[in-house]
Structure 1
């Protein structure tokens, strides 16, 4: 078991990016030694409460800059002025006094006059002046750099007449290293300040970096400016990484980027990750290009590129699996169209690492003389990024194969105690009814000919999928083998007559090949994989009553918005769609998941019963060794159980979301304790009776065994499996694996007494992961 603690799993997230800082690993901010006594400001005589020298969170610390107060280009002496506020005990924004160390980052945008690289480039003023990536400012004009060396710093002075107002000047030889003497004052400059040694009221260092909002401005006019290079927004990153709460309107920050303990904004990353640190991808020890455009591609394609990666890139990126479809460039590129319009090798090679532009290998033998040649093929038409990557292709074919189920009726069979279930559907392909000839060859279009109709019996009182698997609970009927007449398809399958009763739902999961926005016949590559984009049919869920042809009185519980706290739209915010998540299944929505991921599939337990973690050891080939967590198993495929387990790293094999030997989570991009990443905003998980809002009261784990749903939901995320945790569950009325109940109608657990919304230990309090 080593250090893995399965009862008290660490909730801290390692994040998906773990780069080494360009100027060294700057670590997490800590307490600055012995802090001054709270309440003793740098400026004496201020009324109590009119200032502060502590803050409780990074969002309470606001540093404000103005273009008129900054000189960072030209021959004039460097100057800097800014103000800082923090929140006092009343939550009021007041001057923050006593700030004793900041770092100033200055970058500028320049026109690329060469035929290699992006049309516009970022340059760091300090790097250009060979002074590292930033300049410190302290009251003494000296600072200790990473590594312990003393360096010159700008002199930081707090205005005695205006507490919370600070100025910086350079008293050493020459001008400050962040001033670009021969820079162009008519281009965009970006200034960012990081503050150090800020503590909370208990003297503890603030965990998140204290960063000013990046200021973009034109020095020659003093006006604010807008960068044309920002083609990936912070909001795009937040779709998977979570938003940092507490900042002002418009100040959007990313919560969970592990690199350097999070610089929070895309605008901040380019301060270091620009052409000065590019370096190419030929260094076998580093293995990636540190320029932002190439690096960010390599990071997010890491798992797909694992066979190509070397050195640090393999160690740090090789397990990162992009949760959306990798070809969907606009998942991240939600800004200007430069990603499609400006084609150059560096950005492309961040993903296409097997391409050698010097030899033409994996580039059809083509050796471009320079990046200027790239637009000849890729500037427009079928080889432009937006077309070559089929960006948006899935959406364009979403309704190109529609199965509209018309009826489901029981018909007599000549076989004793058997009857036919006859399903009639209207089927269209590429906008026209499917004819008999096309239907006869339909398997040529399908990625998995074994898929077809999903039909499940519903509990008439709760809307839950009925207990059992197969005819007793849900049916599977092939899509093939029916009779097609001018777009109307009739499929008949024999089942036990006793099972063909009551309310049912009906849908289909057929997946087909598409190309050029049309459904087409599939072709295979040399490895036997389908060449075309695989898309799922559209098959809206329909409800029928096999015992009564009249109105259906019940719908599936998962389709009831009042009883479903998960948001399918939120899943798709990060994943893009559910189709690619399930591979060849053809599922596009939650309602299609219930047939296989019901809480009532006791005769079909989990395909992933155990949990493995990644140890600190490697085998003789240098491969990581994985071990099973002793005593931790799961015996169901309930959708809540599966979703919690997978996203919290409690899975088996060598999963891409996993725990290490210390119990820390890798691979999940969001803040784990922020339930609203998946659950609806403001959703209440507990109902008025203390049970789940959904109405689920048990989970079947065997033909005769049932466990309590709240305890299982908690256990799958926290991996609470020790005797103390299980005893706690049972003492509050839960039935657990190994001590299950014998009926599906289990009593309601008393979990909500302490953990219901609004309680002292409510799930909304304990899992307030979005707050910082």
Structure 2
């Protein structure tokens, strides 16, 4: 570099010397003629203001594709055409034209009347499938596209309007008409058009995780008017009850957040575009094992766990559906069928056999030997009466008898015994059966599905924390039953029979129709009736001072409970179903066992699927080393079960420690918690007031960390909890007087890393 600099300097000096050597011997040159002025250039077209259009979006909900019936030709002899607009949100959050789309897929279906005696009266018909083209048609700027299998296929030609950015037109430039056109279709029937968009990224070039789908457009081509399908008997809202909502879209545009198949097509209307009669069949194919038509397939999927246990699933159905355990009652059809009564009124074999897979209508096996000639014969038996779907499946059965067996507790009194360390607790209640005072001499065991449960009674601390252990049986502890008044008595440790107590009951009885009846069993020993829970509003008594102020159980105070039975029942239907023969319907019954003062766990280990199978082909589970739980607290148990931190069952961890079997988004706290409920109190502890959980006779852990540990099972998470003041499993405190954890500093609602932000559920 130094040599170069010296050389350049020398050259400059030589030039300078050369110029000065000319002196004044030469004449000055004359000025040249002025140049001709140049012609002004054509002004350029002004560019669009920054943010006037976008070609990336942050989330799927920031992208919107809009269709109008007048811009679509998909039926008859006219050439196919489509026009739509695409918008995305700019940095200000405004909806502006989205430019640069290079690939979309168009799905077109229509409703056709079924003129046969087999199947539903109205059927979905996919135009592309009927035309033997596939389930959809691509549109690209070149008129060609690469299909999923890698082959090049014809596509409609997609053109963006240069004068109107974000407006796109599609046309068919190949032989014949586009494959999504129904040449012989009825323009007066309902047509449904849906568009899927590809290759859209965020500003960093990362592809958008959720599918980008237009809201399905239902319309009548002949009139151009919007239409409403009368066939859809399951709404998206019904699916969202368990599968969470994908939020961020317009009002009324409900989308399902968590359907694993095909990476989530978000709406029932999306699903039927492929899963329609053109894909039907296969249930008798041992390699497939299920009927891919929507009405049949969705039944088989949700009944998968039960059907697998009964040995009825084979092939792909066994591989894909056996792990699905429906969280509500399979017979409670309206859990999903919330949009009309078509499911009860239209009786045809395809829908029924998808659950009743052991029925063979060709031979009459498991159908009382009856061989129907066609589906037209089904309504003869199942169209009404006791064999209609609604009645045969006991739809709403538990609701009909929810108060048919009721306890109204009136008193709780302590009397001394000869042993000063022991006292007798006597509880009295008015009991009604089917609306009348229960008759003298009634044997309760004849009505009960299980005699394991009875009166649930326990002590209450001043802050409403329950301690179980004063329960009684409605059979063995009965002193008298007279005039509908039940008297139950039992001896207890005298130190327990003082201060405030709670009293409720947990009994499950048999019911038929709207009546509680005596239980009967079939030849296999199974109870034949529907099991329903008793009604037993919780009552409070102070055994030391009846005039003292009432202490309310923490689980009975709405201000301290951030979940509700109603919220649970949106997915489970009822808590009786969840607890089997226990008969619980309210948290105040659950708290008798599931409280933070009863240590130990029947499910202390956490199992995961190793990915290997045994000789019978069943998955092999192993326990996660070093991961155990030692409490029955309702909050932590509910978190554990739904996250998969359990010892096996319907929800579990796979070999990658990912949750399998939970239908909602893992981060959708509002699936269980009440809308707007705050989890943290002003002092940074839990809103419930719970500040410690007992894990042994003398040891306690912190409640916030234990709740979070249900999902955050990594060792690093445990270290994080401890560094923020939590006592955790393996490092407990020896006192229940624990300091408030500092979790709320970062994770309380409204904070940068608040649970309302990092666990935003379907809000992307």
Contact map agreement 1:511 1:584 (CA 8 A) in 2: yes
Look up the match of 2:755: 763
Q: What residue in structure 2 maps to residue 569 of structure 1?
A: 566
Q: Which residue of 1 aligns with 2:735?
A: 743
1:677 equivalent to 2:671? Answer yes
1:47 corresponds to 2:59? no
1:426-505 correspondence to structure 2 within 5 Å: 426-437=430-441, 439=442, 441-460=443-462, 462-466=463-467, 469-470=468-469, 474-480=470-476, 481-505=478-502
Task: Report the equivalent of 2:526.
Answer: 529
Residue 475 of structure 1 and its aligned partner are, at CA, apart by 3.3
Residue in structure 1 matched with residue 79 of structure 2 by the alignment: 77
Other structure's SS at 1:717 match: coil
Displacement of 1:733 in angstroms is 1.4
Q: Measure, in 1, the Cα distance between the counterparts of 2:268 and 2:471.
A: 49
1:153 aligns with: 155
- How many pairs does the alignment contain? 717
1:313 pairs with 317, 320, 325, which one?
317
CA drift at 1:479: 4.5
* Matched residue, 1:252: 254
Q: Which residue of 2 aligns with 1:512?
A: 509
Residue 576 of structure 2: which of 551, 575, 579 is its match?
Answer: 579
Give the distance between the partners of 1:629 and 1:378, measured in 2 at CA: 50
Between the aligned partners of 2:417 and 2:528, the Cα distance in structure 1 is 42
SS at match of 1:582: helix
Q: CA RMSD in A?
A: 1.2
Shift of 1:730: 1.9
- The equivalent residue for 2:610 is 615
Q: Quick one: distance in 2 between partners of 1:436 and 1:580?
A: 31
* 1:216 is the counterpart of 2:223: no
CA distance in 1, matches of 2:730, 2:755: 26
When normalised by structure 1's length, the TM-score is 0.92
Match of 1:179 among 170, 178, 181: 181
Which of 288, 296, 302 lines up with 1:294 in the alignment? 296
Contact 1:402-1:427 within 8 A present in 2 as well: yes
Structure 1 position 568, deviation (Å): 2.0
TM alignment of 1:291-440, pairs within 5 A: 291-306=293-308, 307-437=311-441, 439=442
CA contact (8 A) 2:305 2:322 kept: yes
Matched position secondary structure for 1:475:
coil
Which one of 697, 710, 717 corresponds to residue 691 of structure 2?
697
* Higher RCO (Cα < 8 Å, 6 or more apart): 1
Contact 2:540 2:550 in 1 (8 A): no
Retained in 1: the 8 A contact 2:569–2:575? yes
Alignment partner for residue 635 of structure 2, among 634, 640, 657?
640
**Maintained 8 Å contact 2:643/2:662:** yes
Pairing 1:118-197 to 2, within 5 Å after superposition? 118-197=120-199
| Cα pair 2:444 2:475 within 8 Å, conserved | no
The alpha carbon displacement at 1:44 in A equals 8.3
Whether the 8 Å contact between 2:472 and 2:490 is mirrored in structure 1 is no
Cα deviation for residue 753 of structure 1 reads 1.4
Q: 1:526 to 1:718 in 2, by over 3 A?
A: farther
Q: Do 1:451 and 1:479's aligned partners in 2 also have CA atoms closer than 8 Å?
A: no
The answer to whether the 8 Å contact 1:359/1:365 transfers is: yes
Please tell me whether residue 65 in structure 1 is matched to residue 51 in structure 2.
no
User: SS state of the match for residue 458, structure 2?
Assistant: strand
Match of 2:36 in 1: none
Deviations 1:114-148 (A, max 9, x none): 01100000100000100000000000011111111
* Contact 1:594–1:639 (Cα < 8 Å) also in 2: yes
How far the C-alpha of 1:551 sits from its partner, in A, is: 4.6
Structure 1: distance between partners of 2:475 and 2:686 = 36
- Aligned equivalents of 2:452, 2:252: Cα separation in 1: 50
Q: Mean alpha-carbon deviation: is it higher for 339-348 or for 413-422?
A: 413-422
Q: Distance in 2 between matches of 1:590 and 1:699?
A: 18
Structure number, greater radius of gyration: 2
Instruction: Give the secondary-structure state (helix, strand or coil) at the position aligned to 1:75.
Output: coil
Separation in structure 2 between the aligned mates of residue 492 and residue 729 of structure 1, nearest angstrom: 46
- Cα separation, 2, equivalents of 1:740 and 1:401: 44
8 Å CA contact retained: 1:406, 1:426 = yes
Is the 1:503–1:552 Cα contact (8 Å) retained in structure 2? no
Moved over 6 A (4+): none
Distance 1:700 1:217 in 2: 61
Query: After superposition, what is the alpha-carbon deviation per residue over 1:587-618, rounded to whole angstroms, capped at 9, x for unaligned?
Result: 1100111110010013xx10011001001111
Question: Pick from 630, 655, 671: which aligns with 2:649?
Answer: 655
Distance in 1 (alpha carbons) for counterparts of 2:585 and 2:412:
22
Q: Which residue of 2 aligns with 1:32?
A: none
8 Å contact from structure 1 (residues 302, 321) kept in 2: yes
- Deviation of 1:620 after TM superposition, in Å, equals 2.1
What is the CA-CA distance between 1:552 and the residue it aligns to? 3.7
Q: Give the unaligned 5+ runs of structure 1.
A: 1-42
Equivalent pair of 2:143/2:154 in contact (CA under 8 Å): yes
| Distance (whole Å) between structure 1 residues aligned to residue 155 and residue 633 of structure 2 | 59
SS in 1 for 2:359: coil
Note closer, same or farther for the CA distance 1:100–1:392 as it changes in structure 2 (3 Å cut).
same
Query: In structure 2, do the counterparts of structure 1 residues 767 and 373 end up closer, same or farther at CA, with 3 Å as the change threshold?
Result: same
Deviations 1:155-200 (Å, cap 9, x if unpaired)? 0001111111110001111101111111111111000000111111
1:500-538 Cα deviation digits (max 9, x unpaired):
100011000111000121101111122221110000100
Q: Deviations over 1:439-465 (max 9, x none)?
A: 2x22111111231100110002x1111
Deviation per CA, 1:360-413: give whole Å up to 9, x if none: 000000000000000000001110000000100100000100111111111233
Choose 274-283 or 112-121, whichever is displaced more: 274-283
Match of 1:62, SS state, is: strand
